Amino acid sequence: MTAVNRPAWTDNDEKAVAVARALAADAVQKVGNGHPGTAMSLAPVAYTLFQRFLRHDPTAPEWLGRDRFVLSCGHSSLTLYIQLFLSGYGLSLDDLKAFRTSGSLTPAHPEYGHTKGVEITTGPLGSGIASAVGMAMAARFEKGLFDPQSSTTLFDHNIWVIASDGDLQEGLSAEASSLAGTQELSNLIVIYDDNRISIEGDTHVSFTEDVSARYRSYGWHVIEVAALPDGNVDRSALEAAMVAAEAITNAPTLIRLKTVIAWPAPKARGTSKSHGSALGADEVAATKLALGLNPEESFIAPDDLIAHTRKVIERGQAARAAWEAEFVTWKAAHPEAASLLSRLQKKELPSNWADAIPTFGSDKEVATRAASGKIINAIAAVLPEFWGGSADLGESNNTTIEEGHSFLPATSAMKDADPYGRIIHFGIREHAMGAVLNGIALHGLTKAFGGTFLVFSDYMRGSVRLAALMDIPSTFVWTHDSIGVGEDGPTHQPVEHVAALRAIPNLAVIRPADANETAIAWREVIARRKPAGLILSRQNLPVVDRSSHQSAEGVAKGAYILKDGDGSADVILIATGSEVQYALGAQTLLASQGVKARVVSAPCVEWFNEQSDSYKESVLPSSIKARVSVEAGIALGWRELIGDAGVSVSLEHYGASASAAVLFKEYGFTAENVAAAALASIAKVGK
């Protein structure tokens, strides 16, 4: 893509870079902690990008036609903050002075939704570049929704990334970069800051491979840019590389840029100390002298220089105006696509869309993973923005959109390949799958999902946590949810995973009891637009007869009375997922002994906690102290709902290689054992 209005490089630009380096040193020096070195050496890189390549309008940070920028090395947040200040995104000099302090707009790591111009929360290394892959994939998929014939460039834009040695050491970046090469994401350009320094010193203590060769093997276009003899960035060569990268149409590009950390600090440059510590007053002053600045001044930002750097606003507004003019023409020529785009921008759903979601009869048993597969296809039929796949487990996770075609580049020789396909093949890359889903969600228009076995949620936990932290609608489908996996044994039988996922704030963990609960769960996930994980069974489960039990609509409130006994309950049985059937069986057994039990299905504790106190009291009356939780996993977390007199029917050890039926019986997941637990809880209350 051709960059917008690239003016001649002037002395003012040189001075702006010098000021950016000094601001980085001053900000860390003032607060006494942080990462000055990378922000100093990357100043000319970030300045060149924001002033000369990035298509953006600082007055309209949500502009649909903008390029995206991802600072994968989030610890160098000043690299971004200083450019946001210079470009006119609303950050002030006082904000830079407040770096890493409470309540500031300049926290230690960039935070999505907190500071204008920050596209993604970064800090955990590797996550930024991996999510950038998702952004690049989303851009291509959206192109297919709005301009599959490539009649316009309105929906073409680049994803720019600055990444560090640490980013490329993380396995997450390798997973995602391999996928990006397979996908030939030519709209993805990564500038790799190869400064060979980390906290422990020279990265060659642990990182000696030929990174360029590795990325070429992934299918990337690689451009190497050496440093100048004095160690400074060769900005002219970098710019030439960036121009070349924009012209590549069949591969993502890695620009391997040699830098010297903390350049031009006389003593700190090239040292590990400059990576994560303030330089010290004397070194900051000496650096300013080397930059031609007044060493007696701090936070230098002359008005005339700021006026120069903020001319990028005029260029950005001109680019946006031209884009808007073309957009008007496109809308008139493509009313259906324009209507879809308008709906997606407003984050609306079609009227009556949920009518497409199937209901299931109670005449046969259905695994919730199988029910989910039917629901996914029903949703896909009415929501063209809905797409996804799995980490090489499509047949097992039931995450394949039928006739959706495989999301693969046009050059792929694979069957069913379509650059705008709806089936994502993530490969066996769970962590990258999570990060890619985050990138797709952040890109803003479409709704994607990704599946794997629940036990492998461990591999992707970092990405799941970031989704929850950013509060973005990433949807995770985790099947094979318990010892119900059976013969595959303890390595594949999750025990602690549901509890561990519930420990992540702002993540809805949903474990439906049957096919109809799964349907309502999916409906809520789509409508709520929040981070969520669906926990689904491998084995078939009874479909509850709703003519004699409460409606599955109760799922929307997280927990609900599935079936009451006659009269006031003596004990409450709270169960999730495949274990709800045992609670219902126990209710019948207890009734034969004159004990009245209430069965509560609690597919999503997080949604239940959101309800009013009156609703929660209606489901779990405080007057009923005898309670039992039933879940085929560790009991951690259930005491909050069952109280001191409660008893948990749980699994506090690993499983074994045997059939699901044998394991459930052997480990006490039976109606008889749940009934015994209920009597034990009643006895505890009576003491």
- Residues with catalytic annotation? 430
Of 130, 64, 55, the C-alpha closest to 87 is 55
CA distance 40 to 80: 11
Burial of 204 (0-12, 13-18, 19+ CB in 10 A): exposed
Determine if residue 352 is left, alpha or beta; phi over 0 gives left, psi from -120 to 50 gives alpha, anything else beta.
left
Query: Residue 645: which of 606, 609, 677 has the closest Cα?
Result: 677
Contacts of 143 (CB under 8 A, 6+ apart): 150, 155, 156, 420
Q: Quick one: 364 exposed, middle or buried, by C-beta within 10 A (0-12, 13-18, 19+)?
A: exposed
159 φ/ψ angles, rounded to the nearest 5 degrees: -110, 110
**446-481: b (≥16 Cβ within 10 Å) or e:** bbbbbbbbbbbbebbbbbbbbbbbbbbbbbbbbbbb
| Tokens 């990334």 belong to residue | 161
Give residue for tokens 């199937």. 358
CA 362/CA 177 separation, integer angstroms? 46
Q: Residue 339: CB partners within 8 Å, gap ≥ 6?
A: none
Structure-token pair, residue 598: 């209430």
Closest CA to 68 of 320, 422, 441, 442: 442
Q: Cβ(266)–Cβ(230) under 8 Å?
A: no
